[in-house]
């Protein structure tokens, strides 16, 4: 496991087997959020900061270039987007060299108020680099319903069991999973719990420290319980989970 406290633009990663990323995507130009929880990144506007415009230093073309360059010649990428930036994100992904395999949906159960339908879902671009190859469990559903209570104070923490599904489907044990915007480290937690190697980058010291602690704990648990540990067996009971 290698964790960088850095700007992802300054870190060079090569030959990652898989990328799972939840980027700090831009929602609107200019302005600054007044929410004290808000950090740089339009991603806050989607998460209960009252829709205030926020700034974001990094745009989709740069994000997708970072993702594409880090990956091995034949690999998958899962990138979180929202309804408003799905188009620029996909355009940037295709320009970087990715193909689009699918748009996955996380049905969160919880909803954010909105005048044009309540927001209770998030979207994930499922992308491929190089020659196409299938996922490990082809009976996996594109839309997953999952409620998972937050484990940290990070405002956009994603459930690691959701990320775990993507990791199991698009990588093998021991493979290197990369997350250039790891936040509280949920991708790293899912990777560690499934015996994958992990490289993560986070620019904010506060979240880097949270991620480091969580990922180290998950790696310790994996070394104690192993790949067939207690939690893996519990999740294997779900119909679209391929882990034995």
Residues with Cβ within 8 Å of residue 170, at least 6 apart in sequence: 18, 75, 76, 78, 135, 136
DSSP string, 130-172: SS----S-TT--SEEE-----SSS-TTPPPHHHHHHHHHHH--
**Cα distances (angstroms) measured from residue 240 to each of 12, 21, 70:** 35, 22, 29
Least distance CB 61 / ligand SAM (angstroms): 14
Written as six digits, the tokens of 174 are 């021991």
Sole residue written with tokens 């073309």: 61
- Rounded CA-CA distance 228/210 in Å is 26
Please tell me whether residue 158 binds ligand SAM under the rule CB under 6 A: yes
If the CB atoms of residues 206 and 223 are measured against ligand SAM, the closer one turns out to be 206
Please tell me whether residue 83 binds ligand SAM under the rule CB under 6 A: no
The gap from C-alpha 27 to its chain's centroid, in whole angstroms, comes to: 18
Please tell me whether residue 165 binds ligand SAM under the rule CB under 6 A: no
Least distance CB 44 / ligand SAM (angstroms): 9
Residue 22: name the closest of 149, 138, 125 by CA: 125
Please tell me whether residue 161 binds ligand SAM under the rule CB under 6 A: no
Please tell me whether residue 41 binds ligand SAM under the rule CB under 6 A: yes
Footprint of ligand SAM on residues 126-155 (CB under 6 A)? 154
Supply φ then ψ for residue 35, to 5 degrees.
-70, 120
In the list 38, 43, 96, 165, the residue contacting ligand SAM (rule: CB under 6 A) is 43
Helix 160-170 and helix 186-193, axial crossing angle in degrees, nearest 10: 50
In the list 183, 188, 195, 200, the residue contacting ligand SAM (rule: CB under 6 A) is 183
Please tell me whether residue 68 binds ligand SAM under the rule CB under 6 A: no
Least distance CB 25 / ligand SAM (angstroms): 8
Please tell me whether residue 7 binds ligand SAM under the rule CB under 6 A: yes
Sole residue written with tokens 């990320």: 163
In the list 3, 17, 18, 24, the residue contacting ligand SAM (rule: CB under 6 A) is 24
Query: With CB under 6 A, what is the number of residues at the site for ligand SAM?
Result: 22
Please tell me whether residue 207 binds ligand SAM under the rule CB under 6 A: yes
In the list 98, 106, 178, 181, the residue contacting ligand SAM (rule: CB under 6 A) is 181
CB of 179 within 8 A of CB of 20?
A: yes
Please tell me whether residue 164 binds ligand SAM under the rule CB under 6 A: no
Least distance CB 137 / ligand SAM (angstroms): 23
If the CB atoms of residues 207 and 222 are measured against ligand SAM, the closer one turns out to be 207
> In 10 A of CB 26, how many CB atoms?
22
Binding site for ligand SAM (CB under 6 A): 7-9, 22, 24, 39, 41, 43, 58, 154, 156-158, 181, 183-184, 186, 201-204, 207
């Amino acid at each position: 496991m290698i964790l960088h406290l850095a700007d992802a633009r300054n870190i060079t990663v090569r030959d990652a087997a898989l990328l799972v990323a939840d980027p700090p995507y831009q929602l609107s130009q200019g302005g600054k959020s007044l929410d004290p929880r808000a950090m740089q990144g339009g991603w806050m506007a989607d998460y209960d900061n009252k829709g205030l415009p926020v700034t974001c230093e990094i745009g989709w073309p740069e994000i997708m270039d970072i993702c594409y360059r880090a990956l091995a010649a034949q690999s998958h990428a899962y990138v979180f987007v929202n309804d408003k930036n799905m188009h620029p994100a996909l355009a940037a992904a295709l320009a970087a060299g990715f193909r689009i395999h699918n748009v996955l949906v996380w049905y969160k159960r919880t909803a954010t108020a909105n005048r044009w339908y309540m927001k209770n879902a998030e979207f994930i671009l499922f992308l491929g680099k190089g020659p196409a190859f299938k996922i490990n469990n082809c009976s996996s559903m594109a839309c997953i319903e999952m409620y998972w209570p937050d484990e940290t104070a990070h405002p956009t923490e994603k459930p690691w069991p959701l990320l775990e599904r993507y990791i199991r489907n698009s990588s093998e044990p021991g493979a290197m999973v990369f997350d250039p915007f790891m936040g509280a480290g949920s991708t790293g937690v899912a990777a560690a719990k499934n015996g994958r190697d992990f490289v993560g980058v986070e620019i904010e010291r506060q979240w880097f420290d949270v991620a480091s602690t969580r990922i180290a704990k998950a790696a310790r648990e994996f070394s104690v319980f192993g790949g067939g540990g207690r939690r893996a067996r519990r999740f294997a009971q779900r119909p679209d989970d391929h882990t034995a």
